[in-house]
Amino acid sequence: MHRHAGLPCIPCIYSPTLSKDSTQLTQYTTLLAKSFTMAPLTHLFVTLSILSLLSCSINAQLSPTFYDKTCPNLQTIVRNAMRQALNKEARMGASILRLFFHDCFVNGCDGSILLDDTATFVGEKNAAPNQNSARGFEVIDTIKTNVEAACSGIVSCADILALATRDGIALLGGPSWAVPLGRRDARTASQSAANNEIPSPFSDLPTLKSMFADKGLSPSDLTVLSGGHTIGQTECQFFRTRIYNETNNIDTQFATSRKANCPASGGDTNLAPLDSITATRFDNNYYRDLVAKRGLLHSDQVLFNGGSQDALVRTYSTNSVAFFRDFAAAMVKMSKISPLTGTNGEIRKNCRVVN
């Protein structure tokens, strides 16, 4: 999961404590090496083992307590800024969640989506899934400014985005969870990966399963993470085909109501809520919509269309406790996709540009 080129980590039995202190780890491995009288081949094995242990220390595991000593007020700062942002526009919770999702699906949760294009740098903001639709960057900028004022050069933009996502969901009535922290920021971005690795609203179920599997996420993860569509809106151009051409798995009254704001031609950017019942509250009504054939996007309704995910959709439609529990767990899992840790990447001073 880590972007570390070199020897794979041997089992890091001591890493939970030693990885926090590379000096302690070096002392330990030095003693380990001195404690044996070895033939040259064994010397080589221990040397390689030491290097592998040091590799594990560089790739220290993410931890919710990562900033407890270096930036103790971090979580309060992020929560307060998100509360202000949502008070201005409740939709922002969904926008930040989408940023995080699109960040994690492109080379891992490394803040690459936050980077602006320049004359010499091509970022991900103008990739097809993000262009003129990814939003919330100013909110992340504000949080970064506030965090830098409290503890300069400590907290990554990638971690700020992860925390802001969790807080946006919780403040809109959804679950909360302990966010694993310790990510560092990418110095690179990939527009091509953003174009090819972020699922499309037109994707069918096999394609969605495959794209999630490529990120280490299961079909169950796909179904529960799609529940993030219980908040937010989407543009007419992304659901026009569904409401005009799909007739077997869509409620006719629902389709008619959506056509009022999404003509057969024109109005591409007209918005409609993804959740027809409570678009600004994080709840399980998204799944009730699917069961009632009121999923707005094709990629939503395929989760409940006589296939493998029907049973789970039914469960979530009647059991919000199960949905909240599984959503939080899947968000933690997604947040661990290929983080940059240790000495990889950097801590950006400005989330929009590399240092």
The binding site consists of 103, 106, 108, 110, 112, 124, 199, 229-230, 275, 278, 283
Neighbouring C-beta atoms of residue 119, cutoff 10 Å: 4
List binding-site positions for Ca(2+): 103, 106, 108, 110, 112, 124, 230, 275, 278, 283
Q: Let me know the angle formed at the C-alpha of 62 by 58 and 63, rounded to the nearest 5 degrees.
A: 125
Which residues, other chains included, contact 117 with Cβ-Cβ below 8 Å and sequence gap of 6+?
123, 125, 126
d(CA 324, CA 319): 9
Name the catalytic one among 2, 4, 43, 102.
102
SS3 353: strand
Catalytic annotation on 102? yes
* CA 51 – CA 59 distance, rounded (Å): 12
The tokens for 104 are: 């994690």
Give the residue numbers of the binding site for heme b. Answer: 229
Total residues belonging to the chain:
355
Residues 6+ apart with CB under 8 A from 15: 53, 56, 57, 60, 61
Distances (CA, A) of 48 to 42, 189, 209: 10, 32, 38
Binding residues for substrate: 199
| Amino acid symbol at 330 | A
- DSSP notation for 237-269: HHHHHHHHH--SSS-HHHHHHHHTTS-SSS-TT
> In what helix (H) or strand (E) does residue 298 lie, and over which residues does it extend?
helix 298-301
Distance CA 159, CA 91 (A): 21
CA atoms lying within 13 Å on the CB side of residue 21: 9
Interatomic CA distance for residues 140 and 99, integer angstroms? 10
Give burial (CB, 10 Å; 0-12/13-18/19+) of 70: exposed
- Give the CA angle between residues 12, 330, 321 to the nearest 5°: 130
Which sequence positions are flagged as catalytic?
A: 102
